[in-house]
Amino acid sequence: MSYRSRTFWDAVDAGILVLAAILALWRPPMGFLNRSYGADFYPSAQRTVTTLTNRTPFALGDVLVVVVIVLTAGIWITQLHHSPARRAWPRALLRSLALAGFLYAWFIVAWGWNYARPSLAESLGYVPDQPKHRQLDALENALVAALDRTATAAHAEHSRGTADDPALQAARARTLRAIRVDTPSVATRPKRWMFDFYFNAVGISGMFFPFTYETFVASDVLWFEFPFAIEHEWAHVAGIARESDANFVAALATLGSADPIVHYSGLLEVYAALPRGPSDRRLSKLVLDDYAAIRRRNQRRIVPLVSRVAWKTYDSYLKSQHVRTGLVNYSEYVRLLFGTDVGREALARATGLRLH
């Protein structure tokens, strides 16, 4: 490579790193985030790309990962082969950092700015209002009755097949209307990721891949976990970035569904987040067996060290995206169920009990 060509590419690498730094430090104005980005660019990009990726029998995200690995290896091999070591190492490092900076800029523009948009707590008028002990006890009793009642219907339905996609799609559409997400989005077709073994080892049920607008669901997700898991990822697809908000959307969608499998999935997840949770001996044997199946799967698949490192890393990532509570954000959706009108209505419909 000629001196002029090397200088040109060094300048390109430096320019990419500067752009990535600017994007990392810049906080876009809320008007831009809500209108130009949230109402125009992101929904248009998501609909266009997901329509394409839904038609591919394989995950384009896998292709991207392979391309990045090959490019990174090629950078180092080329530099070390054609340049003296004292110049090859710094240039290979600069080029690798530039590739990472390009991916970061792609992520921020394609998805990351959704984190800076208002949370559902803000848009739905969340009021911190934990139920009193007596109310919580009554709610848990009502959820136990609903779980026991729905478990039989869900298992009977499962014996004839999995949850219907139309039921999942209908739950998604109804919930997005209820929380006033008006911009249309295209639901992703769940796929397997090439690093599915990583999902299993860490205990991840699924992931929205913002580079290709695809959704990956882990192979070890149980049939009664799947509806809640996919509704969570579809919330991300709709531009809802925070984990607590995505869990809240999944809870609303599943609790409000007439499909017994979808409904049962929501009841299981919500009750597991309450104080008594999966070990509550008041639950029927059928429900307790399903909770036990989750524990057995986790004990068999999850690698503790890998899981701790992965979740610690993700906790740091969430905090870097201005989610102050990090991983705790996952469980905060229960507060939204108690502290918003739409949340309390979902609980009332699922249990027949009104908290206020």
Q: For the stretch 29-49, what's the b/e string if a residue is b when 16 or more beta carbons lie within 10 angstroms of its beta carbon?
A: eeeebeeebbeeebbebbbeb
What pairs with residue 209 in β-bridges?
A: 214
Tokens 């499909």 sit on residue = 259
**pLDDT (tens digit, 9 = 90+) per residue, 168-217?**
999 999 999 999 998 899 999 999 999 998 888 888 899 999 999 999 99
**pLDDT (tens digit, 9 = 90+) per residue, 267-279?**
999 998 887 777 7
pLDDT band at 237 (very low <50, low <70, confident <90, very high): very high
Torsion of CA 130, 136, 138, 139, to 10 degrees: 80
Asked if residue 314 has pLDDT above 70, the reply is no
pLDDT for res 154: 95
pLDDT for res 163: 59
> For residue 100, what are its two tokens?
């990472």
Asked if residue 264 has pLDDT above 60, the reply is yes
Please choose, from the candidates 83, 108, 107, 109, the residue with its C-alpha nearest in 3D space to the C-alpha of residue 94.
83
> For residue 332, what are its two tokens?
């905060």
Output 301 or 354, whichever has higher pLDDT.
301
Domain ranges of the chain: 3-116, 120-351
pLDDT for res 88: 77
Whole-prediction pTM: 0.89
Lowest-confidence pick of 24-38, 76-90, 99-113, 217-231? 76-90
> 3-class secondary structure for 272-302?
HCCCCHHHCCCCCHHHHHHHHHHHHHHHHHC
Asked if residue 54 has pLDDT above 70, the reply is yes
Please choose, from the candidates 114, 124, 116, 212, the residue with its C-alpha nearest in 3D space to the C-alpha of residue 175.
124
Asked if residue 328 has pLDDT above 50, the reply is no
| Percent of the chain's residues with pLDDT above 90 | 58
pLDDT band at 8 (very low <50, low <70, confident <90, very high): confident
CB atoms within 10 A of CB 316: 12
pLDDT for res 67: 96
What pairs with residue 215 in β-bridges?
A: 208
* CA-based torsion, 171, 44, 218, 241: positive or negative: negative
CB atoms within 10 A of CB 306: 14
Q: What mean pLDDT comes out for the span 41-68?
A: 96
112: DSSP letter: G
pLDDT for res 202: 84
In three-state secondary structure terms, 162 is coil
